[in-house]
Amino acid sequence: MSSALNLLIGLAMGLSLIALASSRLPSVIRAAAFQGMILGILPLLLEERFHWLVIAVATGTVTVKGFIIPNLLLRALRAANIDREMEPLLGFVPSLLLGAAAIIGAAALGNELPLRPEHAKTLLVPGAFATVVCGFILLMTRAKAISQVCGYLILENGIYLFGLLLINSTPLLVEAGILLDLTVAIFVIGIIVDRIQREFDTLDTRKQTFLRE
């Protein structure tokens, strides 16, 4: 059970690196979506008995993270007629190196932190921290609004991965609230992207320079 789990978490970490290395927006969006779908399946592996609530959470996560949000982003990309190049503020190779460093650091941190016996052999903690940091790197080093949203998505994916540690103990209400908030956040971000597009005719946040000190 835990080897399948670790395989999927490893895959998710690899997808964060792919997102860091891609030079085109649609492939970043697809990497984030695929990562979201993998995370959606994980609760089924963690839970021994198939409770209907777990199945509902898994289906919901896969639908939202894997289909609805990527579709919204791809639609925004088409509607706003955005150039598909990434325009990194930090080159792809340095970003990848930073991402790799993040994974090593997360693995080291994961070894330091005490874990419950049932989590001890899994990659949940290192995977979560590595994904959060990769998302953060993407968020900070890309100029376009949509790629920043992708970075935010990957960051959220990492946090969701961490949340799996608590899936048996926290009330499901908290989980549901998280999912809802995520969707709404992306919705609102999407609307703003749309507005920025109309106001600036560009999604390059470097050109938003009215406000600075």
Partner 1 sequence: MKEILLIALPLIFAAAAFAWPNERTRSWLLPVACGLHTLLTMWLLINPPALAAIAWFGFDPLARAVLPMVSLLFLVCSIYGVSYLQIRSERKNRIFVTALLVMLGLLSLALQAQNLGLLWVAAEATTLVTVPLLHFNGTARAFEASWKYLLVGGTGIALSLLGSFCLGYASLHSGGSGDLTFTALVAQGSSLTRPWLITAWVLLLAGYGTKMGLAPMHTWKPDAYGEAPGMVGALLAGGTTTMAFVAILRVKQVVDAAGDGAMTERTLLAFGLFSMLVAALFLLSTRDFKRMLAYSSVEHMGILAVGAALGGAGILAALFHVWTNGLTKGALFLSAGNIRRAAGAQTEDKVAGMAWRSPASARIFVVGILAVTACPPFGVFFSELKIILATFQTNNPFVAVVFLGCLLFAFFGLTRLVFAIVDGRPRAAARATGKQLREKPGVIIPPLLFLALSLWLGLATPSLLRDTWTAAAKFLFPTP
Question: Which of the 8 DSSP states describes residue 207?
Answer: G
Binder among 132, 133, 137, 146 for partner 1 (CB under 8 A): 132
Nearer CB in complex with partner 1: 7/168: 168
**Residues found in the chain:** 213
Binder among 115, 143, 202, 204 for partner 1 (CB under 8 A): 115
Nearer CB in complex with partner 1: 22/131: 131
- Binding range to partner 1, per CB under 8 A, among 15-23, 62-70, 99-107, 180-188: 180-188
User: Which residue, chain included where needed, has tokens 């998302």?
Assistant: 135
Question: Which of the 8 DSSP states describes residue 121?
Answer: T
Q: Is position 213 an interface residue for partner 1 (rule: CB under 8 A)?
A: yes
d(CA 96, CA 61): 27
Q: Is position 90 an interface residue for partner 1 (rule: CB under 8 A)?
A: no
C-alpha to C-alpha distances, 210 to 57, 147, 205, nearest whole angstrom: 43, 21, 11
The residues near 128 (Cβ < 8 Å, ≥ 6 apart) are 106, 158, 159, 161, 162
**Is residue 193 within 8 Å of residue 76, measured between CB atoms?**
yes
Q: Which residues contact partner 1 by CB under 8 A?
A: 112-116, 132, 136, 139, 145, 148, 152, 155-156, 158-159, 162-163, 165-166, 168-171, 173-174, 177-178, 181, 184-185, 188-189, 192, 195-196, 199-200, 205, 208, 210-211, 213
